[in-house]
Amino acid sequence: MKYNFDEIIDRSNTDSLKYDFAEKRGMPEDLLPMWVADMDYRAPEPVIEALQSTVSHGIFGYSESRDDYYRVLEKWFLSQFNWQIKPKWLVKTPGVVFAISQAIRAFTKEGEGVLIQEPVYYPFRQTIAINKRKVVVNQLVYNHGKYEIDFEDFEACIQREQVKLFILCSPHNPVGRVWTKEELIRMGDICLKHDVLIIADEIHSDFTFNGITHHVFADLKPAYLEHTITCTAPSKTFNLAGLQISNIFIANQDYKKRFKKEMEKGGYSQLNIMGIVACRAAYNHGQEWLSQLKVYLNANLEYVRSFVNTELEGVKLVEPEGTYLIWLDFSEYLQKQGLTDQQLSQLIVHEGKLWLDDGNIFGQGGHGFQRINMACPRSILEKGMEQLSDALKSK
């Protein structure tokens, strides 16, 4: 490989949320962090060079993207997903969760229902609740090691709770599903039938495994395009979360005006210059880096799969179709050992010296699960899995 993803980079004392804030988050300082979804790899060299050039210029005034920024986005989404975007659809925000929050306020009223599919990325629930909307859950069905959608309940939730907005997580974090075209269309048709607006969080779309295809939801039918806010970002793909740059696509111009008006209420306008520069460079010159990264991550996944099957008795890997996040099922282990979720978490922290994401934070259906970030050098991944194994065997 041209890129060395085995390199161990010391991230301590860099203001890293992942490495420098254990104590402030109530965790011991000596843990190996494998929780939050950022990667332990340097960004592609062209991105670093573009940022260094901007720093060398030395002026960091108000900034805005030019036409070339859109053209780079257009080329990326066409080449990766065969999706033809248009300039008038684009709204730039500092993050996907920020965009979801704006959409919740723009398109729903206090007390109205917003639908999510738990277990799911926990800021969804938090953002709905803090905006005083009603959290409505269509719980995913865990069936023989794979998650499925209960479509009857999906529609019943919408009707019963008079849902106005649905947040689609595609690919799904943390369960790793990449929804099929048939699944997406079935959900989409139900939403159209009941006039439910869709927010499609597709931030993990660049990571799929085993030849599985990610389908851009808004591109499946013209009616979906007019009824969807599509949230994308280079942050997961190129490890740029700290630069706060997301690209939101809203084809319906009335919806776009309402969304932007909500942003204006918060006093937000231009992005920071570093986010613009990094996004443009990543999408323009990062394809080779990403292709090699996906090969490396696939090998990491193969290692985890083998290790779980041979070393972690009572633990099952929920086979991921996408994302670089591993969802492990500890329910059999808990039952055999007579442990609670809290006791499992304490065991992992204090015996395993690991910081993972407890499944319960992802809501209904998270009981008995843990989420692990595998986007790290193999040696770190091996160390983490060995520590997990030792902790479980100690009990």
pLDDT for the residue numbered 210:
87
Q: Domain check: are 236 and 175 in the same one?
A: yes
279 φ, ψ (degrees, to nearest 5): -60, -45
Q: Is residue 6 part of a domain?
A: no
Q: Domain limits at 171? A: 47-285
Q: Domain check: are 159 and 308 in the same one?
A: no
- Mean pLDDT across the stretch 354-371? 97
- Mean pLDDT across the stretch 99-123? 98
| Tally of CB atoms within 10 A around 283 | 25
Quote the number of domains for the chain. Answer: 2
Contact 232, 202 (CB under 8 A): yes
Burial 346-357 (b: 16+ CB within 10 A, else e): ebbbebbbbbbb
Q: Domain check: are 133 and 174 in the same one?
A: yes
Q: Is residue 9 part of a domain?
A: no
Q: Is the pLDDT of residue 170 over 90?
A: yes
Contact 210, 163 (CB under 8 A): no
Q: Domain check: are 244 and 385 in the same one?
A: no
Q: List Cβ neighbours of 57 (8 Å cut-off, separation of 6 or more).
A: none
Condensed to tens digits (0 to 9), the pLDDT of residues 206-241 reads: 999 989 999 999 999 999 999 999 999 999 999 999
pLDDT for the residue numbered 1:
81
CATH assignment of the domain containing 308: 3.90.1150.10
The three-state secondary structure class of 154 is: helix
Instruction: Show which of 236, 257, 285 is a domain's final residue.
Output: 285
Q: Is the pLDDT of residue 65 over 90?
A: yes
Instruction: Show which of 285, 316, 336 is a domain's final residue.
Output: 285
- Mean pLDDT across the stretch 323-352? 97
Q: Please tell me the distance from the alpha carbon of residue 122 to that of residue 309, in angstroms, as a whole number.
A: 28
Q: Domain check: are 76 and 158 in the same one?
A: yes
Condensed to tens digits (0 to 9), the pLDDT of residues 299-333 reads: 999 999 999 999 999 999 999 999 999 999 999 99
pTM of the model: 0.97
Q: Is residue 4 part of a domain?
A: no
Q: Is the pLDDT of residue 395 over 90?
A: no
Q: Domain check: are 261 and 302 in the same one?
A: no
Q: Is residue 8 part of a domain?
A: no
Q: Domain check: are 258 and 315 in the same one?
A: no
pLDDT band at 195 (very low <50, low <70, confident <90, very high): very high
pLDDT for the residue numbered 361:
98
Contact 324, 334 (CB under 8 A): no
Q: Is residue 129 part of a domain?
A: yes
Per-chain mean pLDDT for the chain:
97
Q: Domain check: are 208 and 85 in the same one?
A: yes
- Mean pLDDT across the stretch 160-166? 98
Q: Domain check: are 232 and 309 in the same one?
A: no
Q: Please tell me the distance from the alpha carbon of residue 257 to that of residue 261, in angstroms, as a whole number.
A: 6
Q: Domain check: are 309 and 280 in the same one?
A: no
- Percent of the chain residues past pLDDT 70, beyond the cut: 100
The three-state secondary structure class of 210 is: coil
Q: Is residue 1 part of a domain?
A: no
CATH assignment of the domain containing 143: 3.40.640.10
Q: Is residue 92 part of a domain?
A: yes
- Mean pLDDT across the stretch 17-34? 96
Q: Is residue 305 part of a domain?
A: yes
Q: Domain check: are 246 and 362 in the same one?
A: no
pLDDT for the residue numbered 364:
87
Instruction: Show which of 285, 320, 336 is a domain's final residue.
Output: 285
Q: At what angle are helices 378-394 and 287-311 packed, to 10 degrees?
A: 20
Q: Domain check: are 271 and 299 in the same one?
A: no
